[in-house]
C-alpha cells in the first residue's frame, strides 16, 4: 500500500498557457524592456557597438537574445520578470518585426 501511494502520485506536467500576441510591438513593448534592462554602461549601451536600443542590432541578435533571456544569463545582475521574458520571446518567435 505504501508503494502505491508513492508511485501513484505524479507531479502534474501541465503548465499554464502563456498568451503570445503576434502583433507585439518592438517600439512600444520590447525596446523599453531592452533599454531599461540591457543598456547600462559597459553593457549594450552603444559604446561597444551593440546597443540593443537599436532595432537592427536587436533584430540581428534575436536568437542570442532569446537564448540569453531563457537561460537567465542576461541581463547581468538578475533575470527579467516573467512578463518581460514572455514579451521578448513572443516578439522573437513572431519574426522580431520592426513595428
Q: Is residue 33 part of a domain?
A: yes
Q: Is residue 72 part of a domain?
A: yes
Q: Is residue 81 part of a domain?
A: yes
pLDDT value of position 6: 39
pLDDT value of position 52: 81
Q: Is residue 59 part of a domain?
A: yes
Residue 38: domain span:
20-93
**Helix or strand or coil: residue 54?**
coil
Look at residue 84 and tell me whether its pLDDT is greater than 60.
Answer: yes
91 vs 89: CA distance, rounded Å: 5
CB-based contacts of 59, cutoff 8 Å, min separation 6? 96, 98
- Number of domains the chain is built from: 1
Q: Is residue 12 part of a domain?
A: no
Digit-coded pLDDT (tens) for 12-69: 344 456 678 888 999 999 999 988 887 765 555 555 556 788 899 899 999 999 999 9
pTM over 0.85: no
Amino acid at each position: 500500500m505504501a508503494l502505491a501511494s508513492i508511485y501513484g502520485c505524479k507531479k502534474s506536467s501541465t503548465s499554464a498557457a502563456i498568451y503570445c500576441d503576434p502583433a507585439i510591438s518592438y517600439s512600444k513593448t520590447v525596446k523599453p524592456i531592452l533599454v531599461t534592462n540591457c543598456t547600462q554602461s559597459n553593457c549594450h549601451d552603444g559604446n561597444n557597438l551593440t546597443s540593443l536600443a537599436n532595432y537592427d542590432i536587436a533584430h540581428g541578435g534575436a536568437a542570442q537574445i532569446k537564448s540569453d533571456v531563457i537561460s537567465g544569463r542576461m541581463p547581468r545582475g538578475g533575470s527579467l520578470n516573467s512578463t518581460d521574458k514572455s514579451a521578448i520571446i513572443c516578439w522573437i518567435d513572431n519574426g522580431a518585426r520592426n513595428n
